[in-house]
Amino acid sequence: ILRRQAAPCGPRRVGLKLPGRRIPRPGCGIVAGDQLVGQVTSGTFSPTLQQPIAMGYLQGLVAGLLVSE
C-alpha cells in the first residue's frame, strides 16, 4: 500500500462538484483545458449542495496539480 501511495503516476480517485444541473455519467471524460485527464466513474445530483457531484479517476501527475476550491 505504501508503495502505491508514493507512486505519483498512478490514477487518483477524486470527488468533483460541477456547475449547472447536468449530471455526469460513468464514462464521461474529465478535461483540463483541452486535454483529457481522466474519466467519471459515477455521478448524481446532491440535494444538500444543490449541484451535481461525481467521482472519477485522474492521471496521477494531473491530480497533484489540481487544487480544490
Residue 65, pLDDT score: 59
Q: What is the pTM of this model?
A: 0.74
pLDDT in tens, 11-54: 888 999 999 889 999 999 998 888 899 999 999 999 999 999 99
Residue 43, pLDDT score: 97
Which regions of the chain does DSSP assign to beta strands (E)?
A: 12-17, 29-32, 35-46, 51-58
